[in-house]
């Protein structure tokens, strides 16, 4: 038995060979190979980089992980995790954990955010009328910067919608952008593709770890209990069947607290058999034998070493502790 140990979590999503901009990479979600390599090199020189699942397993046995260790995770299950991130990790001898949205693995299914960004990028219209909460608004699509702004605005309008109205609003929006159905929308590129199970098995044999990111990328806190339970169960079963290894960690889509996951959904995850839940609310984890909630902070292609350094600053962590502020949960916005 030991008292809590501080470990840091860093979260990535896609990873691409060359930097992507604009609607191809909103919020820098796909980190470029050079940026990822620079992050990992900087981290490796300063911190012990540990395997998340393996470390947590040790913690449950009462063993202390290295102090100020860092774990690295990737959300969603994009194919470029295999093409770009995996070779870099392997070459540098670093472990990482990948959280798979199982309905998308090996199926060609596209995430709605990618469909939306592609629809805005390739829309034949030069303006569209959209409904906001209060009124009709005209969004300009007459230049790529205007399309980017429109895309971000539409994403932010759709993201908080309840599931009961989401699909209808999404379909109407796609129609307003000039597409009769999603299959008509050209792809943004190869970076939209997801992993298949052979890639997952190869990465697993190569020392990478896998956990669940739901089956259909649902926002758990907005679902009824039966749906969330089903998503947590099905994805766990599929990952265990396909990898032949236990699936011990559940990672929330979007990852914020309490709008995406909360005490109620945490309880469901525990009930379904997960040992840990992973959020994306900040970098700091005080891990001990009773830990159940883990968090890693999202880093994007726009985040240089300065952001990484500021994010993991021990002084910043200690000052928050000394001020008595709750270090969990908090967002990157509150870091700046």
For binding to Zn ion (CB under 5 A), which residues are involved? 75-76, 253
Sign of CA dihedral 159, 211, 241, 192: positive
Q: How far is the CB of 83 from Zn ion (least distance, A)?
A: 19
In the complex, the smallest distance separating the C-beta of residue 76 from Zn ion, rounded to whole angstroms, is 4
Closer CB to Zn ion, 159 or 245, in the complex: 159
The DSSP secondary structure of 69-123, one letter per residue, reads EEEEEEEETBTHIIIIIHHHHHHHT---EEEE-GGGTTT----HHHHHHHHHHH-
Nearer to Zn ion by C-beta: 39 or 75? Answer: 75
- Closer of 253 and 296 to Zn ion (Cβ): 253
Q: Which residue's CB is nearer to Zn ion, number 177 or number 301?
A: 301
- In this complex, which beta carbon is closest to Zn ion, that of residue 65 or of residue 255? 255
CA-based end-to-end distance of the chain? 36
Closest CA to 249 of 268, 223, 269: 269
Please, what is the minimum distance in Å from the beta carbon of residue 220 to Zn ion?
12
Tokens 């129609």 belong to residue = 175
CA angle 91, 97, 99 (to 5 degrees): 135
How far is it, in rounded angstroms, from Cα 59 to Cα 285?
A: 13
Q: How far is the CB of 292 from Zn ion (least distance, A)?
A: 20
CB 137, min distance to Zn ion, A: 28
Nearer Cβ to Zn ion (75/236): 75
CA distances in angstroms from 28 to 14, 31, 173, 205, 302, listed in the order given: 9, 6, 24, 29, 6
Phi, psi of 317 (to 5 degrees): -60, -50
**In the complex, least distance from residue 71 CB atom to Zn ion, rounded to whole angstroms:** 17
């Amino acid at each position: 038995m030991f008292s809590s140990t501080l470990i840091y979590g860093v979260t990535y999503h896609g990873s691409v060979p060359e930097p992507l901009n604009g609607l191809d990479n909103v919020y820098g979600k796909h980190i470029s190979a050079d940026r990822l390599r620079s992050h990992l090199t900087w981290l490796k020189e300063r911190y012990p980089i540990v395997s998340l699942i393996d470390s947590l397993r040790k913690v449950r046995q009462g063993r202390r992980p290295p102090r100020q260790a860092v774990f690295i995770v990737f959300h969603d299950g994009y194919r470029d995790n295999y093409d770009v991130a995996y070779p870099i990790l392997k070459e540098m001898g670093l472990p990482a954990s990948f959280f798979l949205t199982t309905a998308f693995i090996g199926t060609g299914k596209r995430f709605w955010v990618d469909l939306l960004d592609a629809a805005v990028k390739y829309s034949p219209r030069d303006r569209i009328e959209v409904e906001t909460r209060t009124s009709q608004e005209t969004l300009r699509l007459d230049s790529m910067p205007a399309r980017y702004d429109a895309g971000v605005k539409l994403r932010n309008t759709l993201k908080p919608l309840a599931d009961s109205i989401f699909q209808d609003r999404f379909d109407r929006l796609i129609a307003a952008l000039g597409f009769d159905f999603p299959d008509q929308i050209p792809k943004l590129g190869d970076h939209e593709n997801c992993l298949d199970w052979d890639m997952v098995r190869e990465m697993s044999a190569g020392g990478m770890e896998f956990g669940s990111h739901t089956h259909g990328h649902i926002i758990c806190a907005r679902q009824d209990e039966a749906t969330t339970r089903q998503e947590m169960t099905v994805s766990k079963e599929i990952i265990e069947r396909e990898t032949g290894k236990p699936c011990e960690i559940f990672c929330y889509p979007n990852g914020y607290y309490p709008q995406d996951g909360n005490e109620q959904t945490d309880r469901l995850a525990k009930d379904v058999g997960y040992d840990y839940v992973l959020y994306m609310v900040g970098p700091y984890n005080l891990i001990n034998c009773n830990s159940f909630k883990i968090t890693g902070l999202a880093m994007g292609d726009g985040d240089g070493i300065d952001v990484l350094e500021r994010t993991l600053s021990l002084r910043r962590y200690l000052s928050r502790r000394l001020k008595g502020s709750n270090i969990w949960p908090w967002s990157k916005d509150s870091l700046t």
